């Protein structure tokens, strides 16, 4: 048995830390959904584990497809453009199927996982939006754990920094070769996602009767969109298309769409509260 930075060697087998961490994140997120379902008398937690294979397979496919279509700057500089991936699918070092080397996009994973939930829910005639809401609450937990896989692979770090929590990188880009420490973006996102998960769980437990089905999906879009949009300013390995930062553009769109849909869905309640505050203000002026 041999431990090393990339994984664990056991005879002819190698267990990559990246894969083990991702699996741990998936299982913890699934366990959280099962716990939420158990607290809802109308939900059967067994559906979580029955649907997991659907969700994981489609999430991995979606995550890899997104990376293939929108590879990072470092991948492009190394010659691994979208065209290269599509013409070298069976390359054993960096090909499409070598997911343990990194190159899994959270945007594609969320889309693929959501598709898996939708397909399973339709097949079993379940309340799709309710299950999507519970999944949206758990996704940040899975992300918080999974981001440490990026640390192992030295994938998610930012620009050079003098802050005491800066991390070292063995093979930084050439233009940062003289830098010693970099922003630990994986850590920033991991902590934010833990906070987002805690907030979403609290809201679901205490106030979900005030929300409509599907609202927690929108809240997740807003929460993750905000942190991802901000971190893209620090990130080195961005993804661009036509000179536009794809991840930042998608994050901004997620926040805007999420906010607009939330306001539209709760427009009546917002208007009622505004009218109520206006009435209270008028009454206080009249009394004065």
38/25 Cα distance (integer angstroms): 20
Between 135 and 67, name the one with better pLDDT.
Answer: 135
In a domain, 285, yes or no: no
Confidence of residue 5 (pLDDT cuts 50, 70, 90): low
Per-residue pLDDT averaged across 21-30, rounded?
94
User: Could you tell me if residue 36 is inside a domain?
Assistant: yes
**For residue 190, is it within any domain?**
yes
Sole residue written with tokens 């000179």: 243
Q: Domain for residue 250, yes or no?
A: yes
Domain with 220 in it = 2-279
Decide if 286 is inside a domain: no
Percent of the chain with pLDDT over 90: 59
Instruction: Give the lowest-confidence range in 36-50, 121-135, 268-282.
Output: 268-282
User: Which residues lie closer than 8 Å to 280 by C-beta, 6 or more apart?
Assistant: none
**Residue 80 falls within a domain, yes or no?**
yes
Q: Which of 156, 149, 140, 50 is nearest to 100 (CA)?
A: 149
Q: d(Cα 249, Cα 251) in Å, to the nearest integer?
A: 5
274, pLDDT greater than 90? no
pLDDT at 222 over 80: yes
Mean pLDDT of 38-51: 92
CA angle 141, 145, 148 (to 5 degrees): 150
Average pLDDT of every residue of the chain: 88
- Whether the pTM exceeds 0.75: the reply is yes
pLDDT for position 280 = 54
Residue 284 included in any domain: no
- Give per-residue pLDDT as tens, 142-194: 999 999 988 888 888 999 999 999 999 888 888 898 899 999 999 999 999 99
What secondary structure letter does DSSP report for 82? Answer: H
The structural domain count of the chain equals: 1
What confidence score (pLDDT) does residue 179 get?
Answer: 92
288 within some domain: no
**In this structure, are residues 137 and 32 in contact, taking their beta carbons and an 8 Å threshold?**
yes
- Residue 229: the pLDDT is 97
């Amino acid at each position: 048995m041999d431990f090393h930075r990339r994984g664990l060697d056991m005879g002819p087998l190698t267990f990559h830390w990246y894969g083990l961490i991702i699996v741990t994140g998936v299982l913890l997120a699934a366990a959280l959904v099962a716990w939420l379902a158990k607290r809802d008398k109308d939900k059967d937690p067994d559906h979580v584990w029955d649907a997991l294979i659907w969700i994981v397979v489609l999430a991995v496919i979606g995550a890899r497809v997104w990376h293939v279509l929108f590879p990072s700057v470092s991948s492009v500089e190394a010659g691994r453009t979208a065209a290269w991936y599509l013409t070298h699918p069976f390359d054993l070092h960096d090909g499409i199927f070598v997911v343990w080397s990194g190159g899994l996009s959270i945007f594609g994973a969320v889309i693929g996982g959501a598709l898996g939930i939708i397909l399973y829910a339709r097949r079993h005639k379940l309340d799709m939006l309710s299950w999507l809401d519970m999944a949206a609450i758990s996704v940040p937990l899975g992300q918080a754990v999974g981001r440490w896989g990026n640390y192992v692979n030295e994938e998610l770090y930012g620009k050079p920094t003098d802050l005491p929590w800066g991390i070292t990188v063995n093979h930084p880009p050439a233009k940062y070769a003289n830098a010693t420490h970099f922003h630990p973006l994986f850590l920033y996102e991991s902590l934010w996602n833990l906070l987002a998960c805690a907030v979403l769980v609290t809201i679901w437990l205490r106030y979900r009767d005030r929300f409509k089905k599907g609202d927690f999906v929108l809240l997740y879009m807003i929460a993750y969109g905000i942190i991802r949009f901000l971190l893209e300013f620090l990130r080195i390995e961005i993804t661009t298309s036509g000179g536009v930062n794809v991840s930042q553009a998608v994050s901004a769109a997620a926040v805007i769409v999420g906010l607009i849909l939330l306001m539209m869905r709760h427009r009546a309640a917002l208007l009622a509260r505004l009218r109520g505050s206006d009435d209270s203000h008028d009454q206080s002026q009249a009394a004065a």
